[in-house]
Amino acid sequence: MLVTKVEDLRIYQIAVKLRDEVYEEVHRIPFYWKNDDVRQIKRSSSSVPSNIAEGFGRRFYKKQLALFLSYAIGSCEETPNHAFSLHKSGYITLEKAEYFQKKYKDLRIRTIKFRSHQLKKPQ
């Protein structure tokens, strides 16, 4: 199946769902408690689908696609780090931090496989 829009990519769908879950979780934190970790987790979780989308938009240039997918992979590593920091500060539960860690690990692996597959394709 030829994918013609980013919304059809499974990794993009997962990234958007996870971003929305992160936002839902941190919006439960009272405003006066919000700190840098809240801003950072929102930024990193948003970065994943944004970089997948930008990479997809540049998919005809393999190096550009690989670069933006690499950024998305990095943000998949960063987001759980912020989740555990929020847990240590008492803002989210350990179960929720571990959930994000598991889900972002899965997304990271899927994105790595997608990038590898795209780089192997002939131009």
Q: Which domains does the chain have, with CATH numbers?
A: 6-120 (1.20.1440.60)
Tokens describing residue 117 = 């597959």
- Condensed to tens digits (0 to 9), the pLDDT of residues 102-112 reads 999 999 999 99
Q: Which of 104, 53, 102, 56 is nearest to 76 (CA)?
A: 104
What is the spatial distance between Cα 104 and Cα 75, in angstroms, rounded to a whole number? 9
Q: Provide the whole-model pTM.
A: 0.92
Q: Which pLDDT band holds residue 30 (cuts at 50, 70, 90)?
A: confident
What is the C-alpha to C-alpha distance for residues 123 and 116, in angstroms, rounded to an integer? 14
Q: pLDDT: is 59 or 45 the higher one? A: 45
The 10s digit of each residue's pLDDT in 31-49 is 655 678 899 999 999 999 9
pLDDT: which is higher, 10 or 4? 10
